[in-house]
Chain A
Amino acid sequence: MFKQRYLPLWITTSLLMVLFLIGSMQFDGFASSRVVMNLFSDNAFLMITAIGMTLVIISGGIDLSVGAVIALSGVATSVLITQYQWHPLAAFALILPAGTLFGALMGTIIYSYRLQPFIVTLAGMFLARGLATTLSEQSLEIDHPFYDFVADFGFELPGAAWLDLSTLIFASVFLLAILLMHYSRLGNNIYALGGNEHSAQLMGVPVKRTTITIYAASSFLATLAGIVFTFYTFSGYALAAVGVELDAIAAVVIGGTLLTGGRGFVAGTILGVLLMGVIQTYISFDGSLSSWWTKIVIGLLLFFFIVLQKGLNGKPAKTITSH
């Protein structure tokens, strides 16, 4: 039964390997440590977001606002740096707590007024995009010595690969998330919420605090991802990261997390993002394939994994749980 629980993880890993192998055989330079490190640095912001999404989905919720929060975080950072001449670190110190507060507010509304996470975070998505547009309709370029320092920061790896700051930030977030989900009471409570909120409450799980923490964490990570995204683009734009919430959800599902909540792994989500990244790399190496194939292939992958989840969890033993 352990095997069964980890089966989606193995399948994602194998698919990742197989596709990577195919790519390496077809194209020169595909199987290089540089391509691998680029996968991480290009997708660091998505991975950070998707980790937050994993927590939310395991708890039985969903967060549609993350893409908009990334954009808002980027725009706010750029505005503070370029228009108000703040030091980037000071800007981060303001923006990260503010983003966390945004998520905490959504969590409070979801819990207190018994509204569906789907609809509340949808409103949150409009709100964050609206705030970002209000701050600046134009894309704002960041030109600051600190950003030059960030761009140069990193460690040289064999094979002309580069371990940059974004990847390091992602790696620390990842480690913390693993500790949180598997070695802390909060993590257990998150899984418990995803199993059955009512039962969890009766079993003494602090539902309100946990719900608020989950959405606060998701928004915090999205805000952080927005900052990482500015390291990547050197700009903030209100219409950036449109649809990232969908990519994050897709990565979570491909990573073996049950969309109804209660089961899943943070590590799986990372594999999901990597698989999607490898597909994109393959398509860009090929050059003749059009970009829309990415969407279709990800759709098919999603379909495959969802049917697989059905096969594994389709007929659970009958349990008595209250509604």
Chain B
Amino acid sequence: MEMKYKSENRQLTITLTGELDHHAAKGLMEAIDRCMEQNLPVKTLLDLGGLTFMDSSGIAVVLRAKRRMEALAGALVVVNIPRQAARVLETAGLDRYVDLI
């Protein structure tokens, strides 16, 4: 699991690559928290295009990122969602709470 980010004009783009499971989730959540605290974005794009696998741990990661953005009075948008990850997010009904593109 690899995370990269760039921040421009208080828009943060976080790009994930690899497999997102319980083994990777805790460290990833902490890394996203630190990234948001350092950059104080008003909008965060969470780019899942590089994920080769995601289980329900990804739901927890997305929901925590959303809560962090709400605490900053900002917005979270999840983009480039691979088919397998989309099936997991749809099964959880996450499209009702988070912008999934």
Bound pair (A, B): no
User: A: which residues have CB within 8 A of B?
Assistant: none
